Structure 1
Amino acid sequence: MTRQHAPISPKLPGLMHGADYNPDQWLHDPAVLEEDVRLMKLAGCNVMAVGIFSWASLEPNEGQFTFEWMDQLLDRLHANGIFAWLATPSGARPAWMSQKYPEVLRVESNRVRNLHGMRHNHCYTSPVYREKTSLINRKLAERYGNHPAVVGWHISNEFGGDCHCDYCQVAFRDWLKAKYGSLDALNRAWWTAFWAHTYTSWDQIESPAPHGETMVHGLNLDWRRFVTSQTIDFCRHEIDSVRSVNPSLPATANMHMIEGLDYRKFSEVLDVISWDSYPTWHDYKDDSQLAASVAFYHDLFRSLKQKPFMLMESTPSLTNWQPVSKLKRPGMHQLSSLQAVAHGSDSVQYFQWRKSRGSSEKFHGAVIDHAGHENTRVFQDVAHLGQTLNHISEIVGTATPAETAILFDWDNRWALKDSQGPRNMGIKYEETVYAHHRALWKQGIATDIIGSEDSFDGYRLIVAPMLYLCREETGSKLQQFVEQGGTLVSTYWSGIVNESDLCHLGGFPGPLRKTLGIWAEEIEGLYDDDRNGLKMLNDNVLGLSGTYEAHEICELIHTEGAEVLGVYTDDFYVGRPALTLNRLGHGRAYYIATRLKEDFLSDFYATVTAEAGVNRALQTKLPQGVSATVRTNGTTDYVFLMNFSGEPQQVELDERNYTDMETGDSVSSTIGLPVNGVRLLKRQSTYSES
């Protein structure tokens, strides 16, 4: 893989540091805008995202454009060495548009059109909305596409949601016609003979509705795919409308862990991936479990294009919309920000630069509080991070060398949670994926989060938890991966349905049956207080012993060539296989038939990764709650040691020579990390350029 990528923008070769900036809220007070620039420089900020919700300020009435304030803003930023991501303003439309063209407003699944208000309350299919966004975007591009301050396009803001208007119903039917070709093919794929739901005309098909159809799972799945497709088409429409003036400017669209859109598909139209991270730090004294789940999403967004991403939004202090708005404890701002950099971000940016004086986010964290000056704890935290980012700018463009991957498909996620299967009180798909990722994270093992359509080349280990929706092609790819020497780990509730959400016939896990060497006959959901156990057999190849607690899900399987490593301890299936290994070609495939806890996953992956030859950031055992992550350019490794444990920790380094990334000083073999502490180290690379 490539170990060094070009900077996101050649105008700004260092790490990006900045915030969402809304000067249009302060046009009545020019002194505030002048003070902002002074404070940006003092905080070590070098880039701002501007114009995100500025449509009413740019076009206060239809056809009346007021760009003068934006002219002054961009000129002021440029004169002070500060750059800008210039946003298209489609995230929220002006009131005049909603009043004159009500068709731009969304229709909810109950078929009621929304009133004006909120954000993303618009229809991506509406011809009027597309015309209006294209017009304002073209004018922005013509005026600022070659402005020296502009480093790229920030397309809209946190795409999400769906519309069920007549335009969208027609577009959905057209999408289905292109996919299936005939109603007969659609009816077979959706299994509409069930409950006599067979369609005899395309016009009979409606999107899912609370007062209509929700039980045809193929329909539900295709609607979600269509919403992603239509949203991406609108995103592409926006990019096309700004790109003609200066094709070299990169385009990004900030994402926010929204389940309803398949973000992997966005990588096809975006030049840079960016996302918005808002963890609820300090729910518990030990932040490590939350830190691991945040690391999962950093890994996911990095993996979308297999190159550095951007942390486009985070809070420098607190939010105002979480159940509890807790302040970041001392050190957490530096720690959480550098965690993003460690996992592949080439930026740390915030919502927001200056707190709004009114409306819903007036108490959301910001670099500049209502006090209006730099003499605050939060500002000093931001300025300290700015200094650090400046010192470690050589890390820009470096890669995260992952030899392990977790398979995480959005349509599998959708189908699995719609399946009405063994635990309708909560199948816990995401929690399961996080648990497997966390077991790797605790060992300092870099992990990509990939889709079934991605290449499996270069990985030693692929983990596929709950691969419920498994295409024949995916099964073939995983079989080939194992035969060629890879290690696969799969779990219960895998290989159940195909891409149309139709059950595989002939025995589960369908396309994975040969690879895993098992047949899954039944699956049982357990009540919350039910327990079973996994007893490891004597002399098993993993070298594990004793019993591990099983809970929530137990699958009854038969071996078809696989070796039994552990068995159930209780109930009528006591003694039946619960953990197996199948040797196929040059590789190995493990199957975990029951839901197990952190102790098992830690022990299991410690052995499996060593067996597979997977590299770790450090060749020593990490203390509880400490993570180690590596970025590399193929010559130098950059090692991030981060303490999320809530207690001071001592980290033993391995025998390689390390220096401090910021000072260049040699580092001793033992490093102390305070609470929320982070240490940045360098060493000669253990990864060759390829």
Structure 2
Amino acid sequence: MKEIITKYPHLLHGGDYNPEQWIDCPQVLEEDIRLMKEAHVNCVSLGIFSWAKLEPEEGEFHFGWLRRIIDRLFENGIYTILATPTGAMPHWMTAKYEEVRQMGPDGVRNLPGRRHNFCYTSPVMRKKMKKINHELSRHLGNHPGVILWHISNEYGGNGSDASCHCPHCQQAFREWLKEKYKTLDNLNHAWWTTFWSHTYTDWSQIHSPVPNGENGLHGLNLDWKRFVSHQIQDFCKEEIHAVLKYSVLPVTINMMEFFKPLDYFKFAPQLDIISWDSYPEWHSKKDEVDIAVRAAACHTLMRSLKKAPFLLMESTPSIVNWKPVNTQKRPGLHELSSLQAVACGSNSVQYFQWRKSRGSSEKFHGAVVDHRNGSNTRVFREVSALGQRMEQISDAVYPTCNRPEAAIVFDWENWWALEDIQGPRRDMAYLDTVLAHFRPFWEMGIDVDFVDEDSDLSGYRLVTAPLNYLYKKGYAAKVKAYVEAGGCYVSTYFSGVVDETDLCILDRHPLEEVLGICTEEMDAANEYHPNSIYFGGKSYQTGCLREVSHVVPGSGTEVLASYEADYYAGLPALTCKRYGNGKAYYLACETEADFLRAFYAQLAGENNVDGAFTGKLPYGVTASRREGERNLWFLQNFNASEVEAELPDTYTRVADGARVEGKVVLKPYECLILAEKQADGL
């Protein structure tokens, strides 16, 4: 993997900068540089929406203004992440070339405007993209102040499905299907088109799923989602290839947490570093814990994609402008939420945006510099304080990264398939379920990785796979080998139900030999049919989804918990089977959070993945560990009040080198960074 450390081996602090909005005010640039230095900013992102300034007319390129800004920033110790401008097209292009604009599922071409409004398949769009990227690379790709390529902006961020349904995309979809299935017979079998007599007899009959056409073939729906993700990924590859024509800088794209339309595991190999845009809804609940858990899961996903440090490319220093209610971050939360990203593996804290726009839709979106008052604002002071702290901890933090020994299976194709089914429940809530299984680890201060079904499992002591409905080819064999070699694997209800084409798997569960269970039927019970399971001397309430299953006779499977009510009272709800050198567990139902806490605490201890702080963390406090020559712990308090935490060992406080041991009081929204004791002492 290429590294940016050859130019600037430190934590980055800065954000999106849009100086093209202030070209006619040169004094603003000089004032911005002064304020950036005051705020300890060492890096900005430039050019994200600059196409109309870089190419104001077709084939007429203006790069001088951008070079002058990069020069001035670099002269003042501020580096640039340089973006390609394809996130928003200039009007001269959308007016002249209609095909570059996306077409909706209703067959209506979008009008010019907005962002992310381009067709990823359009030959014209790809040609124009390559030209602007080549020129950008040729003029600025080797500038000493530029450290990273930022490819486009939030790919697919135009709506819920990120797709274009134009004729170019329809033909590309058919070609993609031909490559995948080879023959219509294979496709018809995979999509089970004999249902409702929808057998295809010619490739030209295939159309993307749309409301006024075919949308009930789950295989079609799943393959369309795969195609859309693939097509955007292919466009990204071409963008990367274009900027590397004259430059050897590393590349990234700014991702968007668990963004359903794009399989980020597929994007990761073509990127040198992962980055993403984080906008948690702080203060939207009675306390910050639910939001903190989800934010941590998002950071964890980004680190997991390459098992390496990532970049927090965007966050808000104060508010956003697109929620129903846009609440300011309360004092202290900005620093904590930013350091949460660092705790989970980020080597940067960057903002959208540096200076507020004077007009248009984001003029009231949060920024470091407001419309008035310059540096004399609470937000600016908090940003500046964080920037100073980032400088203080950079040398200790930068060379480290989290190295978990537990993993949670999160697979995009499983997500797409699971939430398209009709039954047993309309909302199968895959992501919510994954987060529910993530939370106990967060509460115990145990880092995990997210992996998909294509990932290598061999490096983990514990792997859990909630709601793993779709099994890709080879996945069952991979799990079998993992458990046989000594791994601990947790499967849940409604797993191994369909193959990778979304056809139901007949006969038995693909992991029956490993799990030692035989699944019979799935119940989705309402509030009038409560149930519970008995585990570890205590009863726990079940949720809606409850699977009826049986132990395979003679398998040696142990029943650890049973249902306590209804017609399946006494049947297994949690089982364990030794297989080879490892163990496999099967959880047959949704459960309350307290059960998952107890269950994963037990497994963490048995498999030696419990962290040093496990059992010593009060509510709302978690710990993350970044490993290196000197391991670091980030102790994070998401409570709006002081809490006391017990330290399991003696540590050195990174901020000032002070020795810390015993009990420590964490201030509201405080993040305490501690270095582990070294073999020769502190």
C-alpha separation in 1, matches of 2:569 and 2:610: 37
1:132 matched residue in structure 2: 128
> How many Å separate the matches in 2 of 1:110 and 1:347?
42
The match for 1:70 among 63, 66, 69 is: 66
Q: Deviations over 1:346-378 (max 9, x none)?
A: 011010000001111110000000115001000
1:392 aligns with 2:393: yes
Matched, 1:652 2:617: no
Q: Post-superposition shift, 1:573?
A: 1.2
* Cross-structure match for 2:541: 549
CA contact (8 A) 1:88 1:154 kept: yes
Deviation digits for residues 34-78 of structure 1 (CA, Å, limit 9, x no counterpart):
100001111011010000001011111112222221021111111
Taking the aligned partners of 1:116 and 1:515, their CA distance within structure 2 comes to 55
1:647: how far off? 2.8
5+ residue gaps in structure 2?
157-161
Matched residue type, 1:662: A
Whether 1:259 aligns to 2:270 is no
Number of matched residues? 669
SS at match of 1:345: coil
Partner residue, 2:521 = 522
Please report how far the alpha carbon of residue 481 of structure 1 lies from its aligned counterpart in structure 2 after TM superposition: 1.0
Alignment equivalent of 2:97, drawn from 95, 101, 107: 101
- Residues 151 and 252 of structure 2 are in contact (CA less than 8 Å); yes or no, is this contact kept in structure 1? yes
Cα distance in 2, alignment partners of residues 672 and 554 from structure 1: 43
- CA distance in 2 between counterparts of 1:139 and 1:363 reads 33
Residues 468-521 of structure 1: CA deviation (Å, up to 9, x unaligned)? 0013411111111111111111111100000000010003xx222211111110
**What is residue 540 of structure 1 aligned with on the other side?**
none
C-alpha distance in 2, partners of 1:568/1:139?
66
Q: Does 1:442 align with 2:443?
A: yes
Correspondent of 1:48 among 44, 48, 69: 44
Q: How far did 1:308 drift?
A: 0.4
Give the C-alpha shift of residue 171 in structure 1.
0.7
Moved more, 666-675 or 216-225: 666-675
2:584 — aligned with what?
Answer: 589
2:358 is aligned with 1:366: no
Ranges in structure 1 where 5+ consecutive residues have no aligned partner = 537-543
Q: Distance in 2 between matches of 1:589 and 1:352?
A: 48
Q: Which whole-Å CA distance do the structure 1 matches of 2:561 and 2:52 have between them?
A: 64
Q: Distance in 1 between matches of 2:497 and 2:597?
A: 27
Q: What's the RMSD between the two structures over aligned residues?
A: 1.3
* 1:642 counterpart = 2:598: no
SS in 2 for 1:171: helix
Say if 2:412 is the partner of 1:410.
yes
- CA distance in 1 between counterparts of 2:678 and 2:260 reads 37
Corresponding position of 2:344: 343
SS in 2 for 1:684: coil
Percent of aligned positions with the same letter in both sequences?
51
Deviation at 1:529, TM superposition (A): 5.7
Aligned to 1:378: 379
Q: CA deviation at 1:117?
A: 1.2
Q: Which amino acid is 2:592 matched to? A: K
Contact 2:3 2:250 in 1 (8 A): no
Check the 8 A contact 2:13/2:350 in 1, yes or no: yes
Report the counterpart of residue 483 of structure 2 in structure 1.
Answer: 482
Query: 1:323: Cα distance to partner?
Result: 2.0
Does 1:676 pair with 2:677? Answer: no
Q: Does 1:23 align with 2:19?
A: yes
Amino acid at match of 1:653: L
Partner of 1:541: none
Return the letter of the residue paired with 1:552. C
Pair 1:371–1:530, CA change in 2 (3 A): farther
Match of 2:654 among 637, 661, 672: 661
- 2:236 matched to 1:235? yes
> For 1:668 and 1:684, how far apart are their aligned partners in 2?
11
- The whole-number CA distance in structure 1 between the counterparts of 2:309 and 2:107 is 41
Q: TM-score, normalised by structure 1?
A: 0.95
C-alpha separation between the residues in 1 aligned to 2:661 and 2:527?
48
How far did residue 284 of structure 1 move? Answer: 2.3
**Residue 2 of structure 2 contacts residue 272 of structure 2 at CA under 8 Å; is this kept in 1?**
no
**Shift of residue 299 of structure 1?**
0.8
CA contact (8 A) 2:543 2:591 kept: yes
Establish whether residue 534 from structure 1 lines up as the match of residue 533 from structure 2: yes
Among 546, 561, 565, the alignment partner of 1:566 is 561
Change (3 A) 1:374 1:454: same
SS of the residue 2:676 aligns to: strand
Give per-residue Cα distances to partners, 1:421-459, cap 9 Å, x unaligned: 2111x2111111001100111111110001111111210
Shift in Å, 1:285? 3.5
Instruction: Please tell me whether the aligned partners of residues 643 and 673 of structure 1 are also in contact (alpha carbons under 8 angstroms).
Output: yes
Aligned to 2:33: 37
Preserved contact between residue 471 and residue 511 of structure 1 (Cα < 8 Å):
no
Change (3 A) 1:110 1:528: farther
**Equivalent position of 2:159 in the other structure:** none
Question: How is 1:593-632 mapped onto 2 (pairs within 5 angstroms)?
Answer: 593-618=588-613, 620-632=615-627
Query: How far apart, CA to CA, are the structure 1 residues paired with 2:77 and 2:473?
Result: 54
Instruction: Normalising by structure 2, report the TM-score.
Output: 0.97
Distance 1:404 1:432, change over 3 A: same
What's the CA shift for 1:617? Answer: 4.1
Residues 52-451 of structure 1: matches in 2 within 5 Å? 52-160=48-156, 161-247=162-248, 249-257=249-257, 258-394=259-395, 395-424=397-426, 426-451=427-452
- Any idea what SS the aligned residue of 1:167 has? helix
Contact 1:632 1:685 in 2 (8 A): no
Distance 1:532 1:516 in 2: 24
Distance (Å, rounded) in 1 between the aligned partners of 2:466 and 2:4: 33
CA change 1:496–1:619 in 2 (3 A) is closer
Q: Deviations over 1:620-665 (max 9, x none)?
A: 52111100000011x31110000113331111011x3201011011
Deviation per CA, 1:129-159: give whole Å up to 9, x if none: 1111111111110000111110011000000
